[in-house]
Structure 1
Amino acid sequence: MNSLAKVPCTIVTGFLGAGKTTLVRHVLENADRRLAVIVNEFGDVGIDGEILKGCGVESCPEDAIVELANGCLCCTVADDFVPALKGLLDRPNPPEHIVIETSGLALPKPLVKAFNWPEIASRVTVDGVVAVVDGAAVAAGRFADDPEAVARQRAEDSSLDHDNPLEEVFEDQILCADLILLNKADLMTDADRKSVVNEIGKVLPRAVALVETRHGQVPVKVLLGLGAAAEADLAARPSHHDLEGEHDHEDFDTFIVDLPAYASPQALIDRMVKAAEEHDVLRMKGFVEIAGKPMRLLVQGVGTRIQHQFDRRWPDGAPRRGRLVVIGQKGFDQTGIRAILLG
């Protein structure tokens, strides 16, 4: 069976807060084919899955959105990913295209390798790996992708370490990509954009298309239909972890805060900014109740940069339970963060 007879799958990878969920939601709302989504939230609460299920898109009903929250996909291929993929393919009305959103900590290459597993190899193909880059964050130097540049900066900034696994994850995502989306281009100067594009080019050993985007807005025809068959092209996708059997996430901690109702969005945002400023918080994402409002507030933070919007109505008759997933470097002060958020 050739690749044209297989169901194409698009893997969307990218670092924490780069804009993957926004991009996937855009695809769901604009694709002209029957879709399914596998979303991998790193943590105990599936925030991304809830966001996507709130789209109400006819071409991708809620039961076609599969959420895997038992750790990153590249670590749970046999237990979670392959069974989930088979479940979608075995549906009475199977999808015409599957979109897979990895967690920010996942390495894409092990996931691409999984498409060669006998159980699914004849049924699916990797149409393309799309790496979403937080251009503003990279421009600010928070996620340096050039080991030599990191080494030069170490003398001036002790917080930069070229052995930091965050940088390796970032590079591995770029190295595996068929398309790179330089997201949040509106938050960068022309000089920033040129610098980030140059740094990405230094990492890549092959030509990869790069598109500048804002809020994950890019024509669906640019994303779907790449025809990369990436599972047959592994040699062209080097990884820092090629010689390792497995990788882990022991350098990260994740915890959940149950949030009360807040008087206003700004009341919560101020607390989130303070928590990020005073502690080593990488990522915050969740929902919260705003007093007197019928809709829940979606909040997403990368460092001190917080975005928020009213997402959808709270279910009738159900408790309005606010929850926030917090991800940071291992050993960060969870008690201190809780105290700030809860007051």
Structure 2
Amino acid sequence: MTNQFHFQRTNQSTIIKKYIFSFLYSHSSFFDQHRIQRYQNRSYIFTVQPYSVRIELYQRNQQEQLNFIGLWQYPIHFDYLPVFHLNKILRLNDLSLFNISNPCLSNPCYYPNEQCHQLINDPKKFICLCQTNFTGENCLIKDQQCTNGYCSTKALCKPNYRSLLKGNTFPFCICSFDRYGDRCEIQHDICQFNRCLNNGICVPESTHKIFCLCTEFFFGDRCQWKKSSFHLILESQIYFQGVVIQYFDIDFISFDLIFLHQQVYEILPSSLQYQHHQNQMPAIVLARLYTSFHISPNLYLLSLHIQSVSIDGKTFISQDNQCSHIQQLS
């Protein structure tokens, strides 16, 4: 059984998504009998797994073609149970950083239409997959339906991906972002009717939902909100080894400071710029100056503005705006 979904990278989306899929076991007499045998004799459940969940990742390039990126494969050890829950966070790791030899370097998938892929979740292992349009043992059979254009242009045609339950009479088509349907034959550009504002980039997630990639100065579901702008020119004659700029809001009920953001510098910049994801700027901006990493930092007030949409000014880091310790006030 196969499911397909689209997603954005974490640096392109501020929304965390969870996808839930349900897969059904085959209830043929052969597989039912096999599960009964595994339940009665569990000595080899970790060495032999008739079921597994494989997740393949594809990326659309500038020519709108789909390229294979990587895959994860997780075995189902306890397939004789009524329900098996598999919860995974998928991470696209650079496998070269793990100092593990790539098993595909020895060319274990030596048939011409096979491709060797290293498992992202288990880099010591590999799997041989057929190239697009090919199937059968050792990928020696070219599927005629795929060859005759069963899937639409720029879709990937995968024979035997539909599973035994749905039947493998027809191939499975892996669609690009703007195409849908069993054969990826339905093209629906929802971005024509739901445009992103302020030069945002529209990415269709389905036939009825879009995602907007906003520019640096805007935010919101349609990039409709302009970020609050903070620009402050800094001057200082105080020696220090490091500085941390911190941005806070004020809880006017408890009068606690609400931490929002911070920037760390070894050398004080000539100006500060910060685009805030709210309609108003942070009320307080502080600078923590470290003259030595063995001594507590001195605190300086750079900005105090309540309910300001934007700030553009100049300030000095000096004794005049240094915050005194509470013990010095008593």
TM-score range, shorter chain: under 0.3
Query: Which is higher, the Rg of structure 1 or of structure 2?
Result: 2
Larger RCO: 1 or 2 (CA < 8 Å, sep 6+): 1
Q: Which has the higher strand share?
A: 2
